[in-house]
Amino acid sequence: LWDITEHSYWIDELYSAGRAIAEKDLLDVYYWGPEPHPPAHYILLWISYNLFGYYEMVGKLISAIAGTLCIPAIYFLGKTMFSKGVGFNAAILLTITPALIYYSQEARAYELLVLFSILSSYFFLLIQDKRTYFYTFLYLISSIFLINLHFYGIWIFAAQVVFISISLCRSLNKKDVIFYLFTSSIIFVSYIPLISQMIQAASNGTTWIQGIEITTYLFEAFSAYFGSANMFRPYQVTEISLVGLAFFALFAISFTKLSMKKKLSKGFCYISLVFFFVYIVSILMEALLAPMFNNRNSLPALPFIILVIAWGINQIEVKRIYVLSSIGAFLILSNINFYNNLERENWRGVIKQASTIESPYKNKNHIYVSAWEGEWNVYKRWLDIDDIEIMGLKDLQIENYEQDDLVWVLWATIQPQDLEHNKTILDNLIEVESIEANRAGLIQYKISK
């Protein structure tokens, strides 16, 4: 929580804040418009903004709380699946996993996605032995929230459906069949309003997500989870790191050893199904539809990777605490390396700088934005900037200016010349000066008629 708003929001966080703005109607928040993500996180943001005010900290605080709750949640899941020792090891590892620290400071759905992947799985396993109304209710709520947070949340539910279907085929218990049909139907019904939009998003063809390299994608994913200098840097392939390879090796050894037990545990079978859907089914679907797998989207599987590694550590009979401490120190160093190399798009900084530029004109704009007017308006509101009208560069009217008049263009994420919709207007602009800081900046242009 310390200085949680030190870094500027970046484009995806600003989209979240813009979509969930307090003045909107709930239905406007529910239906996403152009962005392919289910609505649960945005609705939670909208409720929070209405209760506590429309501030930067509110959105990040939700993720920080979710990240904190992940620690006891994975302890109880590990205890239920395997043992107290595994739960303890998993809680320690999760606390210092770089990806989960990072997303606990970002106003997006990913930390909640991890939390509810754990909670849904925990209550799912719990109701198999203790089928009370209370636990059933908690399972339904956590699962409904999970699948409405992010499309990849559906893979956890799919793993549960397959897991219980296999179990029911063996037992053929009529009461169990009715119970699981009932609970699964309730969860699925909550998703019906999103199905058509999910299909539309999946069949759109090209997306910003890059296609994976099938021979290296797991190494990239593990590097992103456990440490790479550029992990989760937007729109960039994650570099494979030694830390990522080391944790992949730890996981592979532990998973292999777990699979060789004479009697496969429920925990192992369930975890295997989660991996099957997140890493295999999603990639098979990508081949048929559009690229959809990336390291962020696969985060629902991360707590189960941590559980497998935690189980492996628990099998060490001599000086187990030293092994756990060594791995912990390794992760702490990985965090230090990541945050020393962290580059966040500095939307806040450049719009502050733009607000200090005095306009030489009385009745026309001196500042434009290259794209994403809605996102810039979020920071304009947060910073109480009244003397800038947010207008897109594509809407600049050349005829309203004289030859050699000067205008400034505010940009972040992508420079003006790299956006197709700006290319026509840029034919009439000559760059004079450029100020850049952390993938955002200001460019001064001269009007050329």
Give the model confidence (pLDDT) of 25-52 as tens digits. 998 888 766 566 789 999 999 999 999 9
In the structure, what pLDDT confidence band is assigned to residue 299 with cuts at 50, 70 and 90?
very high
pLDDT computed for residue 321 by the predictor: 87
| Residue 381 and residue 323 share a domain | no
Domain end (from 293, 321, 340)? 340
Assigned domain for 334 exists: yes
| Residue 377 and residue 283 share a domain | no
pLDDT computed for residue 237 by the predictor: 56
Domain end (from 316, 340, 364)? 340
Assigned domain for 88 exists: yes
Please tell me which of 63-77, 187-201, 390-404 the model is most confident about, judged by mean pLDDT. Answer: 63-77
Q: How far apart are CA 85 and CA 90, in angstroms?
A: 9
Share of the chain above pLDDT 70, in %: 92
Asked if residue 119 has pLDDT above 70, the reply is: yes
Asked if residue 233 has pLDDT above 60, the reply is: no
Token couple for 4 = 């949680």
Asked if residue 341 has pLDDT above 90, the reply is: no
Domain that holds residue 435: 347-447
Mean pLDDT over all residues of the chain?
Answer: 89
| Residue 442 and residue 307 share a domain | no
| Residue 246 and residue 162 share a domain | yes
pLDDT computed for residue 240 by the predictor: 81
Asked if residue 311 has pLDDT above 60, the reply is: yes
Asked if residue 413 has pLDDT above 70, the reply is: yes
Tally Cβ neighbours within 10 Å of residue 400. 12
- Mark 18-56 as b/e (b = at least 16 C-beta within 10 Å): bbbbbebeeeebbebeeebbbbbbbbbbbebbeeeebeb
Assigned domain for 6 exists: no
Rounded to 5°, angle at Cα 204 from 201 and 206: 120
| Residue 400 and residue 322 share a domain | no
Asked if residue 101 has pLDDT above 70, the reply is: yes
Assigned domain for 5 exists: no
Q: Per-residue pLDDT averaged across 277-289, rounded?
A: 85
Report which of 322, 298, 115 is spatially closest to residue 221, judged by C-alpha positions.
298
Assigned domain for 37 exists: yes
Higher pLDDT, 67 or 321: 67
Question: DSSP letters along 277-302, please?
Answer: IIIIIHHHHHHHS-----TTTTGGGH
| Residue 289 and residue 143 share a domain | yes
pLDDT computed for residue 220 by the predictor: 86
- Torsions phi, psi for 138 (to 5 deg): -65, -35
Q: Per-residue pLDDT averaged across 114-125, rounded?
A: 98
Assigned domain for 35 exists: yes
| Total number of domains in the chain | 2
| Residue 262 and residue 213 share a domain | yes
pLDDT computed for residue 141 by the predictor: 98
| Residue 443 and residue 308 share a domain | no
pLDDT computed for residue 202 by the predictor: 61
Asked if residue 1 has pLDDT above 80, the reply is: no
| Residue 352 and residue 334 share a domain | no
| Residue 371 and residue 261 share a domain | no
In the structure, what pLDDT confidence band is assigned to residue 195 with cuts at 50, 70 and 90?
confident
| Residue 363 and residue 246 share a domain | no
Assigned domain for 258 exists: yes
Report which of 10, 106, 124 is spatially closest to residue 375, judged by C-alpha positions.
10
Domain end (from 284, 317, 340)? 340
pLDDT computed for residue 7 by the predictor: 86
Assigned domain for 83 exists: yes
In the structure, what pLDDT confidence band is assigned to residue 200 with cuts at 50, 70 and 90?
low
Q: Are 305 and 279 in contact (CB under 8 A)?
A: no
| Residue 240 and residue 382 share a domain | no
